Amino acid sequence: MIVKVVQVDKNLPLPRYETDGSAALDLRSREDCVIEPGKFKGVPTGIKLAIPRGYEAQVRARSGHAFKKGVGCVNGVGTIDSDFRGEIKVILINWGEESFAIKKGDRIAQLLVNKHETIEWDPVEDLGETKRNENGLGSTGIS
């Protein structure tokens, strides 16, 4: 698939797959910043995308930042819809105990593009029975 991209900052490389087996591309910061413990910030990436209709891009935390520094994405996984044309920003949060410094060009998140379905609702009065039925949180056991 080909995705149109505008480089807001032409000094930054385009996102790329860092290994042959990577599913996601690495996003980089367009600015230097520091995120203090317990704080969050929208960090610009220097790119705008035209995701094809029927697809979405997901912005995800980098596992190394999460594991080593306690830094992740505030919204878990951010969705970029096919009709959004603004600069992608990553909403990072520092759940760690130390300040998290970011330099321009640092890899800050991952971008994964997925095909998705568009649904239509079928209003009904009954959904039918299942073994689990309406048993919710924790009903299948903990292990």
Q: What is the reported pLDDT for 73?
A: 97
The rounded mean pLDDT for the chain is 94
Q: Please check the confidence at residue 137 and state whether its pLDDT lies above 80.
A: no
Going by pLDDT thresholds of 50, 70 and 90, the confidence category of residue 143 is: low
* pTM score: 0.87
The confidence score (pLDDT) of residue 133 equals 82
pLDDT at residue 131 tops 80: yes
d(CA 34, CA 59): 20
How distant is the alpha carbon of residue 111 from its chain centre? 6
The pLDDT tens digits of the residues spanning 45-83 come to 999 999 999 999 999 999 999 999 999 999 999 999 999
Query: At residue 134, does pLDDT exceed 90?
Result: no
> What's the CATH superfamily of 4-9+24-115?
Deoxyuridine triphosphatase (dUTPase) (2.70.40.10)
Cβ-based burial of 83 (10 A; exposed 0-12, middle 13-18, buried ≥19)? exposed
- The CB-side HSE value for 35 (13 A sphere, CA atoms) comes to 26
